[in-house]
Structure 1
Amino acid sequence: MDLTVAITGATSGIGRAVAEAFVDAGAFVAVSGRDGDAVDRTVARLNGDGDDGGDKSESGAENDSDGTAWGSRIDVRDEFDLERFFERVAIEAGPIDVLFANAAVLHGAPGEKPTDSVSYADYDDTMRTNARGVFATIREAVPHLDRDARVIVPSESVAHDSTAGMGAYAVSKAAAEAVARGFAADLDATVGVVDPGLVATDLTGKERARDPESVAPLFVWAATEAPAADLDGDRLGLREWKAATR
């Protein structure tokens, strides 16, 4: 798989699982996150160099898998971080074929943040990261996207179902989906939403949900094999993936 893939929020959960799946498939994967040490550990792991980090975030060293990983510390709340990140990705590996705008935060325990009790500070930071962060990620990547690039924005049922206790997080995911639709209408690139269902991550707090590794192939499929017309400006999920790959 001769692709250049850029992922935000790639140091844990779905982001890291998707990064691993793309590296295993032979792609060059640029990973990022707020914690520079976590980025170093993730890149070292992806490159088959263990979990002790080192300088692999700057080296782009070859790995024991089919692909290569490189990474950098960025904060999606800062568009200048994103601008520098995508410029560096283009230098390292050329135009971006797949952009996975995955970075997100949830303040407080899942299901325990009613909308009427969310502080303004938490609301503002959640929206700045989960909604504006998706906007800035895509906007800053645009000059570096390949002609046939695909942009994936992950989401979940809280974006469109009334769910108690999810507060600002639910609002931000609905906004992120709207951002995806807006870019889909205005860009030549394919931009869409992928919903993997309930996944066990730090954001969901669900231990009995699907493992991130089990849904990573869904994102790879959406980014590489799903009909572009089905994804662009729309949402794909487990049902569509299973129907297409069974």
Structure 2
Amino acid sequence: MSTRLEGKAALVTGATSNIGRAIAEAFAAEGAHVAVSGRSAERGREVVDGIRARGGRADFVPADLDGSAAASQALAAEAAAVLGGRIDVLVNNAGIYPGDATAATDEKTFDLVYAVNVKAPFFLTAAVAPAMAEAGSGTIINLGSWIARLAVPVGALSSSTKGAMETLTRAWAAEFGPRGVRVNAISPGVVLTPEPGEVHPGEVMMQGTPAGRMGDPRAIADAAVYLAGDQAWFVHGTVLDVDGGRTGVAVIAA
């Protein structure tokens, strides 16, 4: 077993499925004690049980990150208690992604998406980063998205929240970096796990890219392990594209 994160205490939000789950599992496999956070206790227990069965350390911390400062502060406190009094790594992964067109988006949906995707990680970072800075070390990893920079015809609301998180990544790197806290982001591409035999529409978006296919959540988890580890000590304020070349390389249609 590799031990790149041995001795680190990590909080991963939205860790009960997809990318968040893959990150939590990868962190635990690298030796971290992981607080698996999400809304579903059943799925949370499943993730934790799987990690423990493989010899890792994990605990489930329930949270409904509705954007209120109180919810984020409560999660920070509960996770720190479970992790032995500190959080060394915070992964702001939880988010919702409605894909409606602009004219079809009502105000209630707008407010909800910004509450979950921007306000919740903002106040969670505000609750966690000062203790990291006081300790002189820590790592925060935000999840952006390729659609924050390469626009698609639907989903303007969701893509704008991811653009906000990429901007916050740079701002927080400037704010907390001088006190030992590294803040970076990962921008996943088309990352889904289709059912066996299913051809997912996302495959079309990856035609003509260097990768030529959709990504797997494990690719994002591998990037998160790197950014969370000491090997990335000189990486600050970076948005790491893990997208099969979708945003950085001209796509030639087949």
Give the TM-score normalised by structure 2: 0.77
Q: For 1:200, what is the secondary structure of its paired residue?
A: coil
RMSD: 2.3
Residue number in structure 2 paired with 1:206:
202
Partner of 1:165: 154
1:152 lines up with 2:141 in the alignment: yes
The alpha-carbon distance between structure 1 residues 160 and 91, as it changes in their structure 2 partners (threshold 3 A), is same
What is the match of residue 96 of structure 1? 87
Matching residue of 2:197: none
Structure 1 gaps of 5+ residues are 49-63, 240-246
Count of residue correspondences: 217
Counterpart-to-counterpart distance in 1, 2:148 and 2:175 = 22
Q: 1:10 aligns with which of 10, 15, 38?
A: 15
Judged with a 3 Å threshold, the aligned counterparts in structure 2 of structure 1 residues 219 and 94 are, in CA distance, closer, same or farther, namely same
Distance change in 2, residues 1:205/1:174 (3 Å): farther
Whether the aligned pair in 1 keeps the contact of 2:172 and 2:183 (CA below 8 Å) is yes
CA 13–218 in structure 1, closer or farther in 2 if over 3 Å, else same:
same
1:21-52 Cα offsets, whole Å, 9 max, x none, are: 0111111000111223322222222222xxxx
In the superposition, relative to structure 1, how do residues 154 and 205 fare at CA in structure 2: closer, same or farther (>3 Å)?
farther
2:60 partner amino acid: G
Q: Name the CA distance, whole Å, in 1 between partners of 2:78 and 2:112.
A: 27
Q: Who is 2:252 aligned against?
A: none
1:1-246 alignment, distance < 5 Å: 1-48=6-53, 64-65=54-55, 67-76=56-65, 77-92=67-82, 93-107=84-98, 110=99, 113-145=100-132, 146-187=135-176, 188=179, 189-200=181-192, 206=202, 209-230=214-235, 232-238=236-242
Displacement of 1:162: 2.0
Q: How much does 1:218 deviate?
A: 1.2
Identical-residue share of aligned pairs (%): 28
* Cα deviation digits, residues 2-25 of structure 1 (max 9, x gap): 110111110001100010001111
Report the structure number with the largest CA radius of gyration: 2
What amino acid does structure 2 have at the position aligned with 1:40?
Answer: R
What displacement does 1:190 show? Answer: 0.9
Kindly provide the CA deviation profile for residues 138-178 of structure 1, in whole angstroms up to 9, marking residues without a partner as x: 11112443522110001121112222111210111111112
Do 1:22 and 1:29's aligned partners in 2 also have CA atoms closer than 8 Å?
A: yes
After the TM superposition, list the runs of 4 or more consecutive aligned residues in structure 1 that deviate by more than 4 angstroms: none
- Which SS does the other structure have where 2:25 is aligned? helix
Structure-1-length-normalised TM-score = 0.80
AA paired with 2:137?
D
Q: 1:228 to 1:114 in 2, by over 3 A?
A: farther
CA drift of 1:97 comes to: 1.5
For residue 95 of structure 1, give the secondary structure of its aligned residue in structure 2. coil
Unaligned runs of 5+ in 2: 1-5, 195-199, 204-212, 244-254
Offset, 1:122: 1.2
Mapped to 2, the partners of 1:226 and 1:175 lie a distance apart of 27
